[in-house]
Amino acid sequence: MANIDLNCDLGEDSAAESQARDIKIMDVVSSVNIACGGHAGDEFSMAYMMKEAAKRGVAIGAHPSFPDTQNFGRKEMIMTSDQLSSAIISQLEIFADIAHAQNIVVRHVKPHGALYNIAARNAEISHIICAAVAEIFPNINYYGLAGSQCRGIAAQYGLKYIDEAFADRRYNQDKSLVQRSEPDAILHDVPEQSIQALNMALGRPILDKNGADLTINAQSLCLHSDSNDALKSAQAIYQILQENGISIQPI
DSSP 171: B
Read off the pLDDT of residues 137-148 as tens digits, 9 standing for 90 and up. Answer: 999 999 999 999
pLDDT > 70 fraction of the chain, expressed in percent and rounded: 100
CA 137 to chain centroid, in Å, comes to 17
Average pLDDT, stretch 27-48?
A: 98
| Domains along the chain with CATH numbers | 2-248 (3.20.20.370)
Q: How far apart are CA 110 and CA 32, in angstroms?
A: 10
> Residue 116: pLDDT above 80?
yes
Closest to 230 in 3D by CA, of 4, 1, 21, 20: 21
> Residue 88: pLDDT above 70?
yes
- Structure confidence at residue 226 as a pLDDT band (50, 70, 90): confident
Closest to 118 in 3D by CA, of 66, 170, 70, 167: 66
Query: In DSSP terms, which residues pair with 38 in a beta bridge?
Result: none
Read off the pLDDT of residues 159-191 as tens digits, 9 standing for 90 and up. Answer: 999 999 999 999 999 999 999 999 889 999 999
pTM here is 0.96
Crossing angle, helix 16-25 and helix 230-243, to 10 degrees?
0
Average pLDDT, stretch 229-233?
A: 94
Average pLDDT, stretch 24-41?
A: 98
> Residue 227: pLDDT above 90?
no
Establish how many alpha carbons lie within 13 A of residue 88's alpha carbon, considering only the half-sphere containing its beta carbon: 27
Length of the chain counted residue by residue: 251
Question: How many angstroms separate the Cα of 123 from the Cα of each of 65, 118, 129?
Answer: 17, 9, 10
Q: How far apart are CA 66 and CA 32, in angstroms?
A: 19
- Asked if residues 133 and 159 have their Cβ atoms less than 8 Å apart, the reply is yes
Cβ neighbors of 101 (< 8 A, separation 6 or more) are 47
Which ranges constitute the DSSP H helices of 159-249? Answer: 190-201, 230-243
**Predicted pLDDT of residue 1:** 66
Which ranges constitute the DSSP H helices of the chain? Answer: 16-25, 43-55, 81-101, 113-121, 123-136, 150-156, 190-201, 230-243
- Structure confidence at residue 103 as a pLDDT band (50, 70, 90): very high
